[in-house]
Amino acid sequence: MAKPADLAALGGQESTRRVRVLTGILAAGILAFLGLGLDGSGLLPKGDGASLVREFFVAALQPAWDYEPGGFLPADAPPFLLKVAKGLWGTLVYAIAAISLSFVFGLLLGVLASESFWATRGKAWGVVRWSIRILLTGMRSIHELLWALLLLAALGLSPAAAVLAIFIPYTGTLAKVFSEMLDESDPRPSYALSQIGASQSRVFLFARLPRTLPDIAAYTFYRFECAVRSSAVLGFFGFTTVGLYLKQSFENLHYHEVWTYLYSLILVVLVLEAWSAQLRRRFVV
């Protein structure tokens, strides 16, 4: 059904507003461009860069199935494809561990950060809610790579540190989004239940929460996909994920190997995309 807002969007009044917004955004872009002192020359590969570009993109057509010659290879090195699989698995493991933990804590904190949970419990509890929101903002404002850097400096290289580095900001984001979903969900089931006399906690637990679960699940899945990417990048800092192997291959100039790692990462994302599409079809959210 076309809402008044949609039809209004087609009108003349809105068009001046649109022009203003778009001009503003464009102006911001130009300002930033000038402010940074950029020019187009940075877009062209220089000297060595040009041949690197060519070599690199040509290698895209022939990803490696085996180690490339040149460079140090320990005697007991596993077959290349096995190493790729190992890298992928390491990436997935950190992501799965982090997201599973994030989901639990995110749900808990999300409930505590939502308005609908505290609705009739008295103003004093507002302090709890606000302190949790501040905590969550702090957790998610710092990028997982920065958490990783801090944890590396404080505790050294460790798989648990990688999981923690992803866990902290992701819990913050999940909790914030969950709390918004809970607050914005359809109020009718909650209303109906409270009309027949159910207590506030029961209303929340049996009407509001279940109603929001499909959205919560869908968002968690999306975040899991993001976690896989974050986990891959953590490899650049030394953790044993795809990123580490990719960086090593790149530094050895083994571009074919690099493309194998890139393709394998793309493959994982495609599989997750397909899985999520299948689930969405079942849910019809």
Partner 1 sequence: MLQISGWLALGLIALAWFFSDIDFSDLFSARRMDNLSRFAERALPDPLRESGEGGSLGAWVTNQMNLYGWRGMGATLGISVIAIVLAGGIGSILGAFGARNLMSAHPFVPHATAGHGACNHALDRVAQVVRILCILLRAIPEYIWAYLLLAMLGSSAWPAILALAIHNSGILGRLGGETIENLASEPLRAMSMAGATRKEIAIAGVFPMALGRYLLYFFYRFETCVREATVLGMLGMVSLGYYIFEARAHDQYDELIFLVILGGLLVMLADILSDLARRWLRRSV
Q: Which of residues 26-65 bind partner 1 (CB under 8 A)?
A: 26, 28-29, 31-33, 35-36, 38, 42-46, 49, 52-53, 56
Distance CA 89, CA 30 (A): 43
Q: Does 25 bind partner 1 (CB under 8 A)?
A: yes
Task: Looking at the chain, list the stretches that DSSP marks H as alpha helix, in order from N- to C-terminal side.
Answer: 4-9, 12-36, 48-59, 80-113, 126-141, 144-155, 159-184, 188-195, 200-203, 209-234, 242-251, 255-283
> Of 48 and 197, which has the nearer Cβ to partner 1?
48
Distance CA 165, CA 145 (A): 7
Q: Which of residues 188-207 bind partner 1 (CB under 8 A)?
A: none
Q: Which of residues 226-255 bind partner 1 (CB under 8 A)?
A: 229-230, 232-233, 236, 243, 246-247, 250
Where do we find the tokens 């809970």?
Answer: 182
Stretch that binds partner 1, among 7-15, 119-127, 192-200, 205-213 (CB under 8 A): 7-15
Q: Does 10 bind partner 1 (CB under 8 A)?
A: yes
Q: What is the largest CA-CA distance in the chain?
A: 76
Q: How far is the CB of 257 from partner 1 (least distance, A)?
A: 14
Sole binder of partner 1 in the list 73, 192, 270, 285 (CB under 8 A): 270
Q: How far is the CB of 195 from partner 1 (least distance, A)?
A: 30
Q: How far is the CB of 97 from partner 1 (least distance, A)?
A: 5
Q: Which of residues 111-170 bind partner 1 (CB under 8 A)?
A: 137-138, 141-143, 145-146, 149-150, 152-156, 158-161, 163
Closest CA to 228 of 178, 271, 181: 271
Where do we find the tokens 């062209």?
Answer: 44
Size of the site for partner 1 (CB under 8 A): 77
| Token pair listed for 109 | 């904190």
Sole binder of partner 1 in the list 73, 128, 266, 285 (CB under 8 A): 266
Q: Compute, in degrees rounded to 10, the torsion defined by CA atoms 261, 267, 268, 274.
A: 170
Stretch that binds partner 1, among 106-114, 182-190, 197-205, 268-276 (CB under 8 A): 268-276
Distance CA 234, CA 225 (A): 15
